[in-house]
Homo-oligomer: A and B are copies of this chain.
Amino acid sequence: MTQNRVFNFSAGPSMLPVPVLEEVAAQMLNYEGSGMSVMEMSHRSSSYLEIFDNTKALLKKVMNIPDNYKILLLHGGATQQFSMIPLNLMKNGKADYVVTGAFSKKAAQEAAKFGDVKIAYSGADNTFKHIPTQEELELRDDASYLHLCANNTIYGTEWKYVPETNGVTIVADMSSNILSKPVNVSDFGMIYAGAQKNMGIAGLGVVIVREDLLEAHKENIPVLMEYDTMADNDSMYNTPPAFSIYVLGEVLKWIDGLGGLEVMQQRNIEKADLIYDYLDQSDFYIAHSDPANRSLMNVTFTTPNKDLDAKFIKESIALGMQNLKGHRSVGGIRASIYNAMPLEGVQTLVNFMKKFEEENK
C-alpha cells in the first residue's frame, strides 16, 4: 500500500481514506493560500466559516437531510449525547431505550439519571447476537422518545428496519454506520454520531435534529449541553472542534466524489459479503451475530478456540493487518470495515482466513 500503510481494522478511531489524509497533509502549513493551517484559523474568520458552512451543506446533500433538521457539530463525541438527549428531549420525563450492546446500555444508564427509563428490549441474554423484531419491542406510547443504537460496534449487529412506534420519535446513535448507506432521515427525530469511525476524527459529535425538538430543555443544565443554545449559536457558543469539522468536510468530499451513499452502500455490501459468504460455508469459523442482523461495518467471528483466536491475531499482524482482535466481551475476531477500508484489505483478510483454516482445522 501507499507509504507502507497497514490495513487497519480498528473499530474506532479507524481507517481514513488515503486521499483525505494526503489532502490534509498537503494543506497543513498553508490551507488554500490562506497562509495558515486550518488548525490555526480563528473559528470566526471568513476562511474558516467557509469550511464550516461547506461541511454542513455537504452533509445535508450527502445524507439528503430535510430542511426542517438542524445540523450541530459538537464537542465530546457520542457519549456527550448520551447526557444531552435526556437533558433536552425527555420532555415528559419518560423515555424507552433498546439495549442491543455496550453503548446503548451506557446511553440508557446515563438517561436513567434524568428520568424514567424503560428498557424496551435487552439482548443481554443472547450475548447481543440479536436485534429485536417489532414484536419483541415493549414500547410505551407516552415515551418522549425511543432510543436505539443503529449499529453495534462490539457485537457486529445492525438494525435492518425502522421500528413502528405509534408516533413516538426515534433517536438513533449511528456512530458506527452513519454515511455507510442511505438513510431516510425523516424516520428519526434525531440522528447522532461520534465522528471517529466513518466521519473523521475523535472529539466531534455530529447531531442531526428535527427543529421542533429543540424547544425547552431542563433548567440549569451545563450550557454546552443545551441543544437550543448550540443551534442558536450555529454550534459556536464556544470554539468548536474546528479541525475535526474540517476533516469531516474532507471525508464528505471524498464520499460525494465517489458518488455518495448509494455507492458507499454497494462497496460496503461487496466487502461485507466477501467475509460473511466465506464464514457461511466454513465449518471452522463461527459468526457471532444472527444472520438477519449482520452489520455491514463490524464483522465478528471466532475460530474454534481461544488459542487459535490468538494465533489468528498474531499471524494477521505479521501480514499487515492491524486491530483484528475482538472486544474482550465477545472475544475472537472483529473486522471493522468502514467506508475507508479498501476492498483489497478485505480480500487480504479473506485470503488469510482461508489459509489459516486450511492450516489449523
Chain A residues proximal to chain B, CB less than 8 Å: 2-6, 8, 10-16, 18, 21-22, 24-26, 28-30, 33-37, 39-43, 45, 75-80, 82-84, 87, 110, 113-114, 194, 196, 200-204, 220-225, 237-244, 247, 320, 322-323
Contact of B240 with A203 in the complex, beta carbons under 8 Å:
yes
Task: Evaluate whether A203 and B241 lie within 8 angstroms (CB atoms) in the complex, with A39-B247, A42-B12, A83-B224 already known.
Answer: yes
Cα-based distance from A237 to B28 in the complex (angstroms): 30
Enumerate 12 A-B pairs (CB-CB under 8 Å) in ascending A order: A10-B40, A11-B42, A13-B42, A16-B37, A28-B28, A36-B322, A39-B247, A45-B323, A76-B224, A77-B238, A77-B239, A241-B244
The copy count of this chain in the complex is 2
Of B36, B84, B196, B322, which one neighbours A35 at CB under 8 angstroms?
A: B322
Contact of B203 with A10 in the complex, beta carbons under 8 Å:
no
Contact of A79 with B41 in the complex, beta carbons under 8 Å:
no
Of B5, B42, B244, which one neighbours A203 at CB under 8 angstroms?
A: B244
Task: Evaluate whether A28 and B25 lie within 8 angstroms (CB atoms) in the complex, with A39-B13, A78-B238, A223-B82 already known.
Answer: yes
Of B24, B45, B77, B243, which one neighbours A201 at CB under 8 angstroms?
A: B243
Residue numbers in B under 8 Å from A77 (CB-CB)? 75, 238-239
With both beta carbons as reference points, the residue of chain B lying nearest to A11 in the complex is identified as B42
Excluding A16-B37, A25-B26, 4 further A-B contacts by CB distance (< 8 Å) are A5-B35, A13-B43, A21-B29, A202-B243
